[in-house]
Amino acid sequence: MAAAVLPDLTTELGPLTLQSPLILASSPWGWGAEEAAELASSGIGALTAKSVGPAPRIGHSEPTIYDWGEGLINAVGLANPGAEAAVEGLLALKAALKRQGVSLIVSIFADTVDRYHEVAETIAQVEPEMVEVNISCPNVEAEFGAPFATECPAAAAATAAARSALACPLSVKLAPNVPNLVQIAEAVVGAGADMLTVSNTMPGMVIDVEARKPVLSNITGGLSGEALRPVAVRMVYELHRAFGGEVPIIGTGGVLRGRDAIEMVMAGATAVGMATVALRHGPAGVRRVLTELDEWMSDHGVETLAEIRGVVG
């Protein structure tokens, strides 16, 4: 075994310098500055707020989240107050995070290309450190049609529309259930994305056999947690290879322990996103990932994650 070292977890994510490679992925937190401050104290580098769209949405009716043991299935349905109404809360959130050295990533979605531009313009008032363009939400297809992330022209158009309203770094969040992942990634990078977030949840369905009905009111939902990890690792690996490591990737999906974060980085991720672990265990679960990551690096003589990034070839 290599000699123990003191790992340096500072992470260069495109033009951003993060105090840690761990990022809270977009999910139902992010509105209350107090709650966010508690999560921020768990050692993250950035927090991604819940996706905001052009208009208020109540989302789907309960139950919207179900833990089936090997992951979560959710169909929240993009519940949000609308971009305009979200600005004030996001400004407060940004200030609370800043006090702890944590960057704010604002996630946006829309149902048309023009509305991606409008939402981005509204969100620009917040001056977040980064904007994540969610083109891949799987739970609103009945209303919105197929996600923008499933076709190159649509993915590029949504990206370009957001890019033209924003000066800050921009990541685009891709979908796992596409046969042409690399082409879609090339399209969004060509349209102005600085980096990629992979992955959003995977469409799935869980049935309660005693009740003889699906566990979610929406019937289908998005899988996250354990079940998603090998899918997300494969996506990170393919994209890291396709871009020769030149496009930073926020590897997201099933990171629940320190080893999972190491796996993401070995596949090629620059930073590591997490939602399920925080939903299940709160700040303590996130802190454990960081502690275990740090211990693994120390035990293996790895001083910076750059030493193992994309190491699997």
Bridge partners (DSSP) listed for residue 103: 46
CA dist., res. 30 & res. 258, Å (int):
23
Cβ(185)–Cβ(174) below 8 Å: yes
Min separation Cβ 40 and ligand FMN, Å: 17
CA dist., res. 41 & res. 270, Å (int):
21
Number of other CB atoms surrounding residue 15 within 10 Å: 12
Min separation Cβ 3 and ligand FMN, Å: 32
Q: For residue 18, what are the CA distances in angstroms to 15, 90, 209?
A: 10, 19, 45
Min separation Cβ 203 and ligand FMN, Å: 12
Among residues 72 and 154, whose Cβ is nearest to ligand FMN?
Answer: 72
CA dist., res. 278 & res. 227, Å (int):
16
Min separation Cβ 80 and ligand FMN, Å: 8
Tokens of 75: 């169909």
Residue 244 phi, psi dihedral angles, 5° rounding: 55, 30
Bridge partners (DSSP) listed for residue 122: none
Residue 137 appears among annotated catalytic residues: yes
Min separation Cβ 121 and ligand FMN, Å: 19
Task: Exactly one of 37, 108, 137, 216 is catalytic; name it.
Answer: 137
Among residues 201 and 270, whose Cβ is nearest to ligand FMN?
Answer: 201
Residues in contact with ligand FMN by the rule CB under 6 A = 25-28, 50-51, 65, 72, 74, 76, 107, 134, 173, 200-201, 224-225, 228, 252-255, 274-276, 279
Among residues 11 and 107, whose Cβ is nearest to ligand FMN?
Answer: 107
**Residue 78, by phi and psi: left (phi above 0), alpha (psi -120 to 50) or beta?**
left
Among residues 257 and 300, whose Cβ is nearest to ligand FMN?
Answer: 257
Closest CA to 192 of 167, 159, 166: 159
Q: For residue 64, what are the CA distances in angstroms to 58, 81, 97, 300?
A: 12, 17, 28, 41
Among residues 247 and 279, whose Cβ is nearest to ligand FMN?
Answer: 279
Residues forming the active site:
137
